[in-house]
Chains A and B, each alone.
Chain A
């Protein structure tokens, strides 16, 4: 049961399971290494900071795909948040992370000083993180970079599901995961997947919303076959 000394690697081995503190790469003297979440440089080594699978994006960025429940804001993420406080020129929005985000009152499509959405604490918004600096609260907006709505905005009715980052990644995958495909073939519903681990399910019919939310919540640890079977069973129980 002795711990083998960490092997110093010239190039990282992708798609392997790594634990916190593992050295994945000896940093080169010169050149660039693109590093994403879950890695940090320490004493000439690139070390992992959390358990997960080491991945490399198409752009060559290394990161660790892990599973967590708390959300750490990152610029560009699409998130589902709850308005918690209302100020004259901004809202405070809870994203389920360590800090509440700031949503400027005019950060909606076509909003002006006279004509702007009137949100109250408890309302839901689907938004995009524009700034996530270490020293300030994150900022979110309900428009895309060109000022269009692009699907962002207040969410009416529906139900919010809290889930792990692993499930969010599955739901956002392309093609969609088997559970979403199976549900979508049988039911009509709307889905807003926030990368902060909040998933909004919308539909006029509340029984459909509950069914979809339960199916999604239970799908994280199911294989494609099991997911199909679960959706089939749920649908049968509702239609019976």
Chain B
């Protein structure tokens, strides 16, 4: 199968170093303290944040910082393959741990000792780049909830196909089993929060792909920040605060 045509276009019509269209919506759920919908191309992820609140299980509360809990689920219709079983799988546990790790470094946990922040993620449509989309959706929901953070974390994936680094793989491209890297970045602090790869690769390849993913992170961060500021501006304008 040909992943990059002679004209330099990928199967979904993008250039090798082009992100999919990003869309962010805030306050999409009313039951929680903050929520967001993040969409990258067809990939669509909901995130809901509850907290900071009293820890559900008192024994789990930490005396010097907030406890971050993360729950991941995907809708039965989110992937092409039939869902094998209900409830948690190894994949969902791993994804939840990745998102939790990124959030623990982003949220100012030391400001909220003994409290708990719970993030629930629901994937509505998985078309590649799910890890990055989950982190981005979680970040937007945390920002919507007004939980104090060091910086906005933004994540982006990149892969290596046909001897060429490709940004933001979709499902078809990711399904080849080649190298796929997911990077999360604090853009203002210029700090990498997460770097994950599932396949073996040479150092040169890894470096090229990681550099591309970092550029993707910065672009995604810009888009997310713009959407967030737009949301704040519209809320403020409606109540005449600005």
Binding site for B on A (CB under 8 A): 1-3, 6, 15, 17-23, 38, 40, 42-43, 47, 49-53, 65-70, 72, 97-100, 134-135, 165-166, 170, 220-224
Contacts and interface: CB of A to CB of B under 8 A. Distances in A.
Residue among A20, A42, A97, A223 with the highest chain B CB neighbour number at 10 A: A20
B239 A98 contact: no
A224 B240 contact: yes
Main secondary structure of the interface of B (DSSP, over half): mixed
A52 B239 CA distance: 13
A180 to B, nearest CB: 14
Contact of B52 (A18, A20, A70): A70
B109 to A, nearest CB: 12
Interface in B116-161: 116, 143, 145-152
Contacts, number: 127
A-B complex: 8 closest residue pairs judged by Cβ atoms: A68-B146, A21-B151, A98-B115, A49-B148, A3-B222, A98-B52, A21-B188, A69-B33
Interface stretch (B68-76, B89-97, B173-181, B230-238): B230-238
B222 A166 contact: no
Contacts of B145: 68-70
8 contacts: A15-B242, A51-B232, A67-B146, A70-B52, A70-B146, A98-B115, A135-B113, A224-B240
Contacts of A134: 111, 113
Interface residues of B, number: 46
A60 to B, nearest CB: 20
Contacts of B239: 166, 170, 220-222
Residue among A38, A53, A98, A134 with the highest chain B CB neighbour number at 10 A: A98
B100 interface: no
A70 B147 CA distance: 9
B150 A53 contact: no
B229 A51 contact: yes
Contacts of A53: 232, 236, 241-242
Nearest to B53: A98
B149 A72 contact: no
B218 interface: yes
A21 B189 contact: yes
Residue among B34, B236, B242 with the highest chain A CB neighbour number at 10 A: B236
A21 B239 CA distance: 25
Given A1-B19, A100-B54, A224-B240, A21 B222 contact: no
B68 to A, nearest CB: 13
A22 B148 CA distance: 12
B184 interface: no
A6 B188 contact: yes
